[in-house]
Each structure stands twice: as structure tokens, then as C-alpha cells.
Structure 1
Amino acid sequence: MRTIEDPGLVEEFKERLLAELAETVALIEESREYRAPVELDQQSVGRLSRMDAMQQQEMAKDINRRRQHRKVAIEIALSRIRDGEYGYCTACGEPIAVRRLEIDPVFEQCVRCAP
């Protein structure tokens, strides 16, 4: 059974986090045009089309907020790896189950302490 003390395991999580960070940053950049203000041009866009565009813009902004939140969580996990604190619960200090980290490598707390 692998434990968080295994340096190879921590390196695997680090690689996974770095790959997800790169993908998340790329998605944030790609979605920039979808978050741009909707232009008021009554000649080319009808009222319903503009409302649809505004709704799509709001959805894009919400997706971007979630991506930004995920980016921060990944950066925190990478910081914990650099500091040698990764894989240990921030509340009780006990090791976080490897299976829990496999589900989501940004988890900071063990199952007992998680809200």
C-alpha cells in the first residue's frame, strides 16, 4: 500500500497538478473573448439575440470564476508540495488517504476533518 511518505507518489501528484494547472490557464485565456462585454448593436442583433449573448457571457464569467478558483487551489497544493506539507491534513496534521488525493489532489484535509 502506497503512502504519502513515498516521494515517487508526491512527484506523481505534482506532475498531475502541473498538467492541470497548464490546462486551466489555457482555458482561462481561451475564454477571454466569451467574457467580453456584449455590444449594443440593434442593427445586426435583435433584442432576443442580445439577451442570449448576455446570458452566454454570464455563463462564461461563472465558468471563469470556477476555473480561477481551481487554479488557486492547484497553486496552493503545489506550494504545499514545495514546503513538504503536501498530503497532510491542514486541520489535524495526519496523513490524507492516498485514495482521497487520487480523487482530487488539491484536498487539504482528511475525511474526518473535511467540512
Structure 2
Amino acid sequence: MTDPTDTELADRYRTALEEERAALLTASEDTGEGRKPVMLDQTQVGRLSRMDAMQGQAMEAALEARRHGRIRAIDAALRRIEEGEFGWCDDCGSFIGFGRLDSDAAAMRCISCAS
């Protein structure tokens, strides 16, 4: 099999990366309320309910951190597309492979270098 061209790679993955980025940003905006500090109002919320709310807030904050990490990875992949470096392993320079890119279009390393 011959290696794909930069244009073929960009055409195949740019839209998917941009759509995933937009979905992550939308999810981040939609869940902003869940990450706000939990206020203590013992007339309205009991101790266990507040603890549940705090745990929910912590989980939302952790999910938000993962979202931002994924957005950074997508942004890096989009930069690699613009620079003509997308799809090529950062370590060895070989083609990453369609199977790996189909699974994670933001992958920066081939399966050999990643393991």
C-alpha cells in the first residue's frame, strides 16, 4: 500500500476533528452549572445531600479537565493538518495507519511507538 497524501489525510479527518471539537465545547458550556461551587444552605439541603452535590461537582470538574485535554489534542491534530504533518508518527516518521487514525484521529504516534 502506498502512503496517503497530506490532502487525502486532511480531507478524511479534518471534518471529524472539527465536529468532535465543537461537540466538546458545547458539552462544556452545557455542563457549566454542574461545576459551580456547592453552597451550604442547611435549611434547604441536608449534610448528605450536600456531600452528594459536592461529589457531583468534583466529577463534573474532572470530566471538564478531560474534555479540555481532548480539545488540546484535537487542536494539535488540526495544526498538524495545516502544517502537512498529520498522520505521520512523531517518533519514527512512518505513517500512523488508517485503523489507528480512524480510532483516534488525534493520535500522534504509530502503534509501535505508542506501545
> Please, what TM-score do these two structures have when normalized by structure 1?
0.94
| Identity, % of aligned positions | 43
Q: Residue 64 of structure 1 corresponds to which residue in structure 2?
A: 64
Runs (5+) with no aligned partner, structure 2: none
C-alpha separation in 2, matches of 1:2 and 1:30: 43
Moved over 4 A (4+): none
Task: Give 1:2 deviation, angstroms.
Answer: 7.6
Q: Residue 30 of structure 1 corresponds to which residue in structure 2?
A: 30
Q: Residue 102 of structure 1 corresponds to which residue in structure 2?
A: 102
**Counterpart residue type for residue 58 of structure 1:** A
CA displacement 1:15-64 (0-9 Å, x = unmatched): 00000000001111111110000001010000000000000000000110
C-alpha separation in 2, matches of 1:31 and 1:47: 24
C-alpha separation in 2, matches of 1:21 and 1:28: 11
> After the TM superposition, which of the residue ranges 4-13 and 56-65 deviates more from structure 2?
4-13
C-alpha separation in 2, matches of 1:44 and 1:5: 62
Q: How many residues align?
A: 115
> Please, what TM-score do these two structures have when normalized by structure 2?
0.94
CA displacement 1:36-94 (0-9 Å, x = unmatched): 00001010000000000000000000110110100000000000000000000000111
> What CA RMSD, in Å, does the superposition of the two structures yield over aligned residues?
1.4
The answer to whether the Cα contact below 8 Å between 2:89 and 2:108 also exists between their aligned partners in 1 is yes
**Counterpart residue type for residue 82 of structure 1:** E
**Using a 3 Å threshold, how does the CA distance of structure 1 residues 5 and 110 change in structure 2: closer, same or farther?**
same
